[in-house]
Structure 1
Amino acid sequence: MALIQRPFTRRRLRALAAVAVALAALAGVILWFAGSEDRALDEACDGVLPVGEVRAVLGDGDMEITNRTEGSFDGAGESERGNSLSVRCEVRSEGTGRLTVTIAGAPRPSAEHGKAELYAAVPSRHTLPVPLGHGWSGLFATDSARLGDGEDGGATTAVLLPCAKGGDSLLITVASVLGRDVTLDNPAGRPGFIRTATATAEAANDHWDCGARLGTPVREVDLPVNEDEYEPLIGAKGTCAGVPTAARSAVSTARETARADAPRETCALGARDGSPRYRLDAYYGPYAEDARAQFTHDYDYENVTPAEKPAGRLGRSAYWAGATCPKGAASALYLIRADDADGDARRSPDLGYERAALKAFATRSAAHHGCAAPSLPGG
């Protein structure tokens, strides 16, 4: 039997609101429909979602909003308890797209380590995330390797707020999937993917009394670095600066990003034709904590992992290094791994080159971030 859709009268809207509040008390999730979006947007993500920026991105049409807040952010970073704050909200607008916002307090309680990802992931499989710059510690990323084809309206922006109280931080991550009319290939449109994240970060900074230093409006940002955007390694000026070439390992090209105050950095090393050889990664703050926690889970068969020792060798072709960072932040983590699947770097690793490349990468990155000289693996 077909259902007859009745209009939303004021009485029905009040009834729906009452039901929504009751469900929120039971499940911690609120689902809002047309007619109450403004109120729902005001309350989404514990009240820190910027309504104006969301409307600017998704338009003024009908929206669906889901919202969940758990745990607390109470400045417990120096204790073993950690910060359990976990906020997630999603805004959907038919025809224009959706925004998924997550806010996490760091560091996480130690009981969470090794169970799942501690923080929202930033895509980095096909492209290299680029730093936000403009005074923000953050990243702009996409997992789409094809830009400008009318189907690249998805991007992730992450903003890290190192709080004034040493060791604590807030990580805000916004995943945007927008309509076909929006493309990352348009420089004028890219900042629109970022404004929601930075505005949410500003509100979160006040709401949870973080006291972090904020950046300025992001009016331009580079595209994430694609797989075919390799250049000669000699002369690299960004995240690959100073990393040596290697004749035996046929390493002579690189994909890199600018080196800024980003909580993650990557240098991808390749052969002359750009085919992958090695990948160097630097992790800071929550990302370093998350990486170590995942090694505990994924490499439990190893005798020692980055979670137990500041430097060492992992598997057949991987080394790690670590560095102590200021203000009570998590120690930085640096990795080099073979990136050529079943190629020569995995079958016959050039261990001497791997250590030299990791040393050059980690030393420069640590110095840029104000961290101590890194602890390096031995031979």
Structure 2
Amino acid sequence: MSDVTVDQGLDRVRRRRLIRLAAGLTAGAVVVAGGLFWLSGGWGAWRHDRALDSACDGTLAADPVRELSGGAEVTAETRLGRSFWQCMVSEVDDEEDGRIDLRVTISDARDHLASLEAARTDAPLGHGWTGGFAFDPDQERRGQATATVMLDCDGEADSGVVAEVRARIDRADFGRPEDRAGLTSVLTRTATAYARQTGCQATEGEPVRKVATSVNAWDYRPFASVSGSCAGIVDARTAARWGVRTVVETASGPKPVEGCTLGGLRGAPLYTFTASYGPALNWSERERLEDLTGRPTGDAADGRYVRWADCPGAAERAAYVVAPDDSELGRASDLVLDHTGLRTALSAFAERSAKAHGCTLTTAGAGAGTSAG
């Protein structure tokens, strides 16, 4: 055996020893790193984060929840009630992560107990959705907001689901457009996933990139600049005769509750128009308004009038009401009322809103309107 052959054999032995040593060091490093990851809480954070992907029967829109929570560790659970399904997200450690309370509640729109707490001042979601977003930019808690949506089931008459998300997330700021869009994404994606699981092929809108904020009584604008939910209700001559100088309106777009307030100087409310669809019209109010449909048409003492519409899907039925001044609170208005003009204005408001929802106005109160007082 030559010296060259011996040297090559020794080299191979040395290389195998080095490889085994390196492998041992690598394995040791992995064990140490894994131990550090475990002890530092990394495993727990990873486990909670991965659990979001299958949370609430796999319906929760996990990615926007992660963004809104700002990387905080959260947990999710499903709650079932007599008439609702709910996905609740909360923080693992509120002292470290800050308060996180996010709840998506979904009901069958046909359920007698289904309801939506929506307001005419909510901003429309737009982008093909029938929904609204409630965030008051003047409130102290910037991480608190509510959004609602109604979904129709394709191919099924008078069926759909209604959903609401309520959020209080200390790390979020719903004054930021991206956070409003994120919460809207949680709502729409979770609601449509739930609908599919329950056999409803929901009609979906487009991803929501931008959502406005709610309006308040002091967010009035000159009547001459009307362009949203108040547009086309009364003409300039009628407005002047009624003393209307300002409006409080939202952008146009289908919502569970739509509205417009015509006001005097400095926004003092004079006439309020409200459209309520399906579960957004609570049953006690619905029954009270329905009791009036059999009354003779004509001038109502307090100037309140109602129109009705039959609607497809989740909306089911809608009521359109005009209320002068504060008469919607049960007090008589001090205004000198133009009853014919009020009924005409209500019809214009109802026709435009009904068309946007695919609804058909009923003959009850047609033309003259129905007394709601």
TM-score, normalised to structure 2's length?
Answer: 0.72
How do 1:90-101 and structure 2 match up within 5 A?
Answer: 90-93=88-91, 94=94, 95-101=98-104
Instruction: Please state if 1:134 is matched with 2:92.
Output: no
Aligned length: 313
Q: Which runs of 5+ in 2 are unaligned?
A: 1-43
Give the CA deviation at 1:133.
1.1
Tell me, yes or no, if the aligned pair for 1:248 and 1:350 is still in contact at 8 Å.
Answer: no
Alignment of 1:84-233 (within 5 A): 84=83, 86-93=84-91, 94=94, 95-109=98-112, 112=113, 118-122=114-118, 128-142=121-135, 144=136, 146=138, 151-164=141-154, 165-179=156-170, 181-233=171-223
Matched, 1:259 2:252: yes
* CA pair 47-310 structure 1, distance change in 2 beyond 3 A: farther
After the TM superposition, which residues 1-379 of structure 1 pair with which residues of structure 2 at under 5 Å, given as runs? 37=48, 41=52, 44-63=55-74, 65-70=76-81, 84=83, 86-93=84-91, 94=94, 95-109=98-112, 112=113, 118-122=114-118, 128-142=121-135, 144=136, 146=138, 151-164=141-154, 165-179=156-170, 181-244=171-234, 245-247=238-240, 249-287=242-280, 290-291=281-282, 293-295=283-285, 299=288, 304-305=291-292, 316-326=302-312, 330-340=316-326, 346-348=333-335, 350=337, 352=339, 353-375=341-363, 376=365, 377-378=369-370
User: 1:328/1:139 Cα in 2 relative to 1: closer, same or farther (>3 Å)?
Assistant: closer
Deviations 1:18-45 (A, max 9, x none): xxxxxxxxxxxxxxx9997468746654
- Higher helix proportion: 2
Match of 1:28 in 2: none
Change (3 A) 1:317 1:202: same
Give % identity.
35
C-alpha distance in 2 between matches for 1:328 and 1:100: 21
Partner of 2:41: none
Secondary structure at the counterpart of residue 189 of structure 1:
helix
Paired amino acid for 1:361: F
Q: Is 2:157–2:313's contact at 8 Å kept on the other side of the alignment?
A: yes
| Cα separation, partners in 2 of 1:249 and 1:161, compared to 1, 3 Å | same
TM-superposed CA distance for 1:184, in Å, is 2.8
In the TM superposition, what is the alpha-carbon distance from 1:136 to its structure 2 partner?
1.6
Structure 1 residues 233, 90: CA separation in 2 closer, same or farther (over 3 Å shift)? same
Distance 1:264 1:101 in 2: 19
Question: How large is the RMSD of aligned CA atoms in angstroms?
Answer: 3.5
Task: Letter of the 2:202 partner, please give it.
Answer: A
- Change in 2 beyond 3 A, CA 1:166/1:186: same
Structure 1 ranges of 4+ moved more than 6 A = 33-36, 308-315, 341-345
Q: Which runs of 5+ in 1 are unaligned?
A: 1-32, 72-83, 113-117
Shift of 1:122: 2.7
Shift in Å at residue 324 of structure 1? 2.4
Structure with the bigger RCO (C-alpha within 8 Å, sep 6+) is 2
Against the structure 1 CA distance between its residues 370 and 65, is the aligned structure 2 distance closer, same or farther, given a 3 Å change threshold? Answer: closer
Separation in 2 of the partners of 1:284 and 1:252? Answer: 29
Give the Å deviation of 1:173: 0.7
Measured in 2, the distance between the counterparts of 1:369 and 1:177 equals 31
Q: In the TM superposition, what whole-angstrom CA distance separates every residue of 1:79-105 from its partner, at most 9, and x where no partner exists?
A: xxxxx5x11232222205220110010
CA distance in 2, matches of 1:223, 1:155: 10
Alpha carbons of structure 1 residues 266 and 325: separation in structure 2 relative to 1, 3 Å = same
Shift in CA distance, 105/311, structure 1 to aligned 2, threshold 3 Å = farther
Equivalent residue for 2:22?
A: none
Which range moves more in the overlay, 270-279 or 258-267?
258-267
Distance 1:51 1:327 in 2: 28
Distance 1:140 1:312 in 2: 37
Q: Distance in 1 between matches of 2:54 and 2:301?
A: 47
* 1:142-199 Cα shifts (integer Å, max 9, x gaps): 2x3616x6x32211111211111111111111111121x5333323332122121122
Q: 1:329 to 1:264 in 2, by over 3 A?
A: closer
Bigger-Rg structure (1/2) = 2
Q: What amino acid does structure 2 have at the position aligned with 1:91?
A: V
The two structures have a TM-score, normalised by structure 1, of 0.71
SS in 2 for 1:190: helix
- Residues 166 and 328, structure 1, Cα contact 8 Å, conserved in 2: no
Distance in 2 (CA, whole Å) between partners of 1:366 and 1:45 is 35
Instruction: Compute the displacement of 1:140 (Å).
Output: 0.9
